[in-house]
Chains A and B, each alone.
Chain A
């Protein structure tokens, strides 16, 4: 009698292994199975599936087409990448099937950010996406995926949307010399070599043939709330540097020093702009 857990594990091995699929679907009764490296009990399970080839074939087909469907669905989380793929002229189903196969038919199920990140990384290796501009876009989405996964593991105490509301209610801000500021974990800064503004403003429908100005740009990627989609904001070089200096709390004086002696009043201007977005908070405050 086969243990249910062993059956499940063995079935999943079949689903992800082309050679086992071939053996299960096209075995003849006298075929030896010992060279599969499986135990006698696992071989008995394989033989059981091999005894119903039509049903097993349908099940394997459903599994693999389901992976392709899920991979394409996961791209809705990274609409820039999705748009690039759909405008590439490639057969998207074939590209998704290539990705699924390259990932060893692994079923990441509801871990859609992992699937989206894997798919973007797969596209980044293809010649159709080799231009600097497309690599910029894929990198931006890759940064979004990493941020989402980090927040999935550990949520911030206060989300930017709430932090911004609290800041707004507390105006005018004190900005004392002893205040320490820290960046929200719900945001990250990414850099691009082109001005992606028109694409970021319309990620579902941008024109991929549009000429974008080559220019170093800093993009704040932020999840305003747990159940919200991510948003982008363009940051100045100074604001981006400031945000990146704040993984740990710092006073305005410490920031001024790290920003090559930027005057305190200007440091507070930058901090204010980030606090207003809810992506920098006063340590120990909101």
Chain B
């Protein structure tokens, strides 16, 4: 399976189209959260009527990349009954996505328990998760990348570090990685004292299997750092991006924002400043990409060069 080299894009949330001009940006790709645009699992439609027009409009303008947060991909229910198969797979085909990324959490027909349920990094789960990942990738028919998780604690029964779990899983599954650099950063802040190490993580995972990258920001609340996607991309994450781009060849770098008002130094910004900061992050990401792969290496700059 191959992955096209697209460039720098944004994660698209139809609910935010009213305040951020997604469609006016020269994006190389747009990542769509399948969960945000799918029809209810207990209803008739694959796609939510409320999201259909916005996503069709976006798909006419940008290559769409698929992302799954709540697919039940690695839970214990029959794979064929999950949202991943019943909703995400049809959506991926509808929008002809070049790849899909999913999350390394447990869920079934549930959503709210996802973020508290990182996979158990155990030998038994390597085997079970890899089989499920391979089957799901076969159904998608395009590369499936697994996102490293941000978590507040590991799953009881874990036997190895996350990076070793991912590397072993990929050996068995033939699937790929979607590397979230802010999740690495958040875990290092929250779990560095107990041994979590970004250099070791990056030295252990197969970087040649990284098909896409997430960039985001977050905040400290009380004594925990949270992956809230409600600030500019964290400064340390930019350094990680340059490092990874120099050692890997992902198809896209995707920036994530999940709020209508970014926070900056304890202040809630207005819409205009929020948009400015996002555009500034986009420009910085493009510069990082161009430094690594050349000025005419993105989908949009390749078009301009023709």
By a beta-carbon cutoff of 8 Å, the part of chain A in contact with chain B is 1-5, 7-8, 11-12, 15, 44-45, 48-49, 52, 54-56, 58-60, 62-64, 66-67, 70, 76-77, 107-114, 148-149, 151-152, 155, 186, 223, 225-229
Interface string of B256-290 (1 = CB under 8 A from A): 00000000000000000000000000000000000
Which bucket holds chain B's interface residue count? 35 or more
Tell whether, in the assembled complex, residue A8 and residue B109 are in contact, meaning their CB atoms are under 8 Å apart. no
Tell whether, in the assembled complex, residue B45 and residue A108 are in contact, meaning their CB atoms are under 8 Å apart. no
| Chain B: CB-nearest residue to A10 | B156
Query: How many inter-chain contacts with C-beta < 8 Å in the A-B complex?
Result: 140
Tell whether, in the assembled complex, residue A7 and residue B45 are in contact, meaning their CB atoms are under 8 Å apart. no
| Chain A: CB-nearest residue to B51 | A227
CA distance A108 to B43 in the complex (A): 13
Tell whether, in the assembled complex, residue B110 and residue A227 are in contact, meaning their CB atoms are under 8 Å apart. no
Interface string of B65-98 (1 = CB under 8 A from A): 0000010000110000001000100000000000
Q: Could you tell me the distance in whole angstroms from the C-beta of A38 to the nearest C-beta in chain B?
A: 14
Interface string of B33-71 (1 = CB under 8 A from A): 001001111111111011010000000000000000010
Q: Could you tell me the distance in whole angstroms from the C-beta of A238 to the nearest C-beta in chain B?
A: 29
Tell whether, in the assembled complex, residue A111 and residue B45 are in contact, meaning their CB atoms are under 8 Å apart. no
For residue B19, which residues in chain A have a CB less than 8 angstroms away from its CB?
none
Candidates B44, B76, B106, B119; contact of A151 at CB < 8 Å: B44
Tell whether, in the assembled complex, residue A59 and residue B116 are in contact, meaning their CB atoms are under 8 Å apart. yes
B155 within 8 A of A: yes
Tell whether, in the assembled complex, residue B157 and residue A227 are in contact, meaning their CB atoms are under 8 Å apart. no
Q: Could you tell me the distance in whole angstroms from the C-beta of B201 to the nearest C-beta in chain A?
A: 20
Q: Known pairs A55-B152, A63-B112, A66-B111; list 11 more (Cβ under 8 Å).
A: A1-B122, A4-B155, A59-B152, A66-B112, A109-B109, A109-B111, A109-B112, A110-B38, A111-B41, A112-B41, A152-B42
Tell whether, in the assembled complex, residue B70 and residue A110 are in contact, meaning their CB atoms are under 8 Å apart. yes
B113 within 8 A of A: yes
Tell whether, in the assembled complex, residue B42 and residue A227 are in contact, meaning their CB atoms are under 8 Å apart. no
CA distance A186 to B45 in the complex (A): 12
Candidates B50, B70, B76; contact of A8 at CB < 8 Å: B76
For residue A15, which residues in chain B have a CB less than 8 angstroms away from its CB?
113, 116
For residue B203, which residues in chain A have a CB less than 8 angstroms away from its CB?
none
Complex interface residues of chain B between 210 and 225 (CB less than 8 A to chain A): 222-224
Candidates B43, B108, B109, B122; contact of A149 at CB < 8 Å: B43
Most chain B beta carbons < 10 A, residue from A49, A108, A109, A110: A110
